[in-house]
């Protein structure tokens, strides 16, 4: 009889320990997941700050030359203007090793570090060593200014 009681008590204690370990594991896993997703959401993979909120004025439209573009390194954006009414935004961080892109000329966005070039129209790689396109940053022209959309 006493042996059976001990056995049931052991079973209850063992079950309680198992439940407690499961709850602790849940919270550890949840915190790990939250940390990893906030890292992804808060950076572009190269340690650069997260983009500012939408609606931010990025530049006066007149500052973006037709057929060229400008690098707004402090804002993490390259604006290109393929045609008078066609402005596009891309990340200003090179997808090769994270250098800040330096210029827009001849239809490409150019990295000074290892020579990668990206299409000013699409952000696609035109010349490596980069293999991934530039992430698009949605922008919109409203009146005389270009906004982060």
* Residues at the interface with ligand FES (CB under 6 A): 94, 96-99, 111, 113-116, 129-130
Our CB check for ligand FES shows the closer of 91 and 116 to be 116
The neighbouring-strand residues paired with 47 are none
Are residues 50 and 43 in contact, defined by beta-carbon separation less than 8 angstroms?
Answer: yes
User: What is the distance between the alpha carbons of residues 83 and 102, in angstroms, rounded to a whole number?
Assistant: 21
Owner of token pair 């439209």: 61
Are residues 43 and 36 in contact, defined by beta-carbon separation less than 8 angstroms?
Answer: no
User: What is the distance between the alpha carbons of residues 7 and 29, in angstroms, rounded to a whole number?
Assistant: 32
Neighbour count for residue 122 (Cβ, 10 Å): 15
Our CB check for ligand FES shows the closer of 73 and 140 to be 73
Tokens of 106: 């001849």
Our CB check for ligand FES shows the closer of 87 and 101 to be 101
Our CB check for ligand FES shows the closer of 46 and 147 to be 46
Are residues 117 and 71 in contact, defined by beta-carbon separation less than 8 angstroms?
Answer: no
């Amino acid at each position: 009889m006493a042996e059976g009681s001990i056995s049931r008590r052991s079973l209850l204690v063992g079950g309680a320990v198992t439940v407690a370990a499961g709850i602790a594991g849940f919270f550890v896993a949840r915190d790990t997941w939250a940390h990893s997703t906030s890292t992804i959401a808060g950076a572009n993979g190269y340690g650069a700050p997260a983009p500012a909120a939408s609606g931010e004025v990025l530049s006066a439209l007149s500052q973006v030359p037709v057929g060229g573009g400008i690098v707004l390194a402090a804002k993490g954006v390259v604006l290109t203007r393929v045609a008078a009414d066609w402005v596009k935004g891309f990340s200003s961080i090179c997808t090769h090793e994270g250098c800040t892109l330096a210029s827009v000329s001849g239809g490409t966005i150019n990295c000074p570090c290892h020579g990668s070039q990206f299409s000013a129209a699409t952000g696609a790689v035109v010349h490596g060593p980069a293999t991934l396109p530039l992430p698009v940053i949605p922008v919109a022209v409203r009146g005389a200014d270009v906004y982060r959309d």
